[in-house]
Amino acid sequence: MTAALDAYWMPFTANRHFKQAPRLLAKAEGMHYWTADGRRILDGVAGLWCVNAGHSRPEITAAVAKQIEVMDYAPPFQIGHPAAFELAEKVAAIAPPGLNRVFFTNSGSESVDTALKIALAYHRLRGDGARTRIIGRERGYHGVGFGGISVGGMVANRKMWSASMLPGVDHLPHTHDLARNAFSRGVPSHGAELANELERLVALHDASTIAAVIVEPIAGSTGVLLPPKGYLEKLRAICDRHGILLIFDEVITGFGRTGSAFGAQEFGVIPDLITCAKGITNGCVPMGAVIAKQEIHDTFMQGPPAAIELFHGYTYSAHPLACAAGLATLDIYQRDGLLTRAKTLSPYWEQAAHSLRGLPAVIDVRNYGLILGLEFEARAGAPGARAFEVYLKCFERGVLVRNTGDTIALSPPLIIEKFHVDELFGTLAEVIRTVA
């Protein structure tokens, strides 16, 4: 380590704690990272829910390298490049039926802000401009833009900026209910009725003021909260009844995490807009996207033909390197069957996950596809401390997990093999015994 650590203000990090004992990654391949001092670390979280095809895939590396040699950058406004159109077609081809128009961004946060803006503009273009209200959900995470923190439900992301939130946002209750659903396998049985809270919000505000509802099919960042059986269907039905758009934020559930290309297909509920990012390029070049129903897109295609229909976009929308990475990534997903591999492996994953039941302080194990939420009882007066300690100790023992509150989340690359699953849960179990 030669550089000083002071200048880099790290995101979502305990900076002072980190800089006392930095954890530095230097190399990645397949299921593993290597630290700067040469230790091999099993990646239990696909980087940060994004490296779904495993690290440093040569096909993706080659595609990005080739692209940067041929054309480093292309402006996305009023001009294009072929890979952008090709990638949009390929994303549309794996999206749920009817969602076939793709707007590129550079992150999940940008995708969320883009989708919210599209929803508001859509109603306005239809002469329904009083629909300005957006409904999010407690314990939702939709990135860190002002739109995203407004509809999100993570208090630490909200309290500092509470006076600067989007006006007119309201929230559904979260669906996490340990009293009824602890140690569920797959989606929990209880809680579909929580979707009826949307009817109450409609009764309170009137449907004519509500533009959209945004939820994650599975909430990741706030601790892996699974949708109760029948819940998403109910939300869809209520939105339909009242002309409200339904947005699924699939930044983590997209690209095979649940066992289908998107959570929408997995749960059989088709939203009007999908936000995604992360896995679209296997995490190697920043990119996000909003996938819209054609009808929404077509609503914008009015007015003088030379007029710009949507005043929105980013300098790096459809960046050539991201498009090259995306095309190579989708090829791998398809060729290697990775979009459905989580379904094949999930019985083994589920069995291994639930073997942690009964370990000290473990109050819940929940799983879906290749996702795990492992919740601990919080230490008195020190919320989050136990899971953070588990995270640190796992890292010392060569396994990367993710802590959020008192939950450990796992979301490994979809190329994971059974022996990796054993190592992951074996290390977790050992660590939990020492930390409790």
Provide, rounded to whole angstroms, the least separation between the CB of residue 109 and ligand PXG: 3
Of 202 and 371, the one with the shorter C-beta distance to ligand PXG is 371
3-state secondary structure (DSSP) of residue 133: strand
138 CB-side CA count, 13 A: 10
The number of C-alpha atoms within 13 Å of 3 and in the hemisphere containing its C-beta is: 8
Q: Walk across the sheet containing 402-404 and list its strands.
A: 362-368, 371-376, 407-410, 402-404
Instruction: Give residues in contact with ligand PXG (CB under 6 A).
Output: 48-49, 107-109, 112, 141-143, 216, 220-221, 249, 251-252, 277, 402, 404, 409
Question: CB-hemisphere CA count at 13 Å for 210?
Answer: 27
Q: SS3 of 102, please?
A: strand
Closest CB to ligand PXG among residues 215, 353: 215
Q: ∠293-299-300 over CA atoms, to 5°?
A: 105
CB-based contact 183:103 (threshold 8 Å): no
Least spacing, CB of residue 15 vs ligand PXG, in Å: 16
- Residue 221 or 282: the one with the smaller Cβ distance to ligand PXG is 221
Nearest CA to 376 out of 426, 431, 420, 422 is that of 431
**CA torsion through residues 77, 313, 115, 325, sign:** positive
Rounded Cα distance between 127 and 125, Å, is 5
| Least CB distance to ligand PXG at residue 302 (A) | 30
Judged by beta carbon, residue 121 or residue 219, the one nearer ligand PXG is: 219
Q: How far apart are CA 33 and CA 35, in angstroms?
A: 7
- Tell me the DSSP string of 357-405: TTSTTEEEEEEETTEEEEEEPPBTTBTTHHHHHHHHHHHHTTEE-EEET
Nearer to ligand PXG, 202 or 325 (CB): 325
Closest approach of ligand PXG to the CB of residue 252, in Å = 4
Q: Euclidean distance between the first and final Cα of the chain, in Å?
A: 33
Which of 102/202 has CB closer to ligand PXG? Answer: 102
Q: Residue number with the shortest CB distance to ligand PXG?
A: 108
Distance CA 176, CA 167 (A): 26
Beta bridge partners of 245: 212
Q: Closest separation between CB of residue 320 and ligand PXG, Å?
A: 20
- Closest CB 309 distance from ligand PXG, rounded Å: 25
Q: How far is the CB of 50 from ligand PXG (least distance, A)?
A: 8
Quote the least distance from Cβ 405 to ligand PXG, whole Å: 10
- C-beta closer to ligand PXG: residue 221 or 258: 221
- Side-chain half-sphere exposure of 113, counting CA atoms within 13 A: 16
Please state the closest distance from residue 49 (CB atom) to ligand PXG, in A.
6
> Which one, 57 or 137, has the nearer CB to ligand PXG?
137
- H/E element, 40: strand 40-43
Cβ proximity to ligand PXG: between 119 and 409 the closer is 409
Other C-beta atoms within 10 Å of 6: how many?
Answer: 8
Kindly tell me which of 54 and 143 has the beta carbon lying closer to ligand PXG. Answer: 143
- CB of residue 26 vs ligand PXG: minimum separation in angstroms? 21
Give me the phi and psi of 402, to 5 degrees please.
Answer: -130, 135
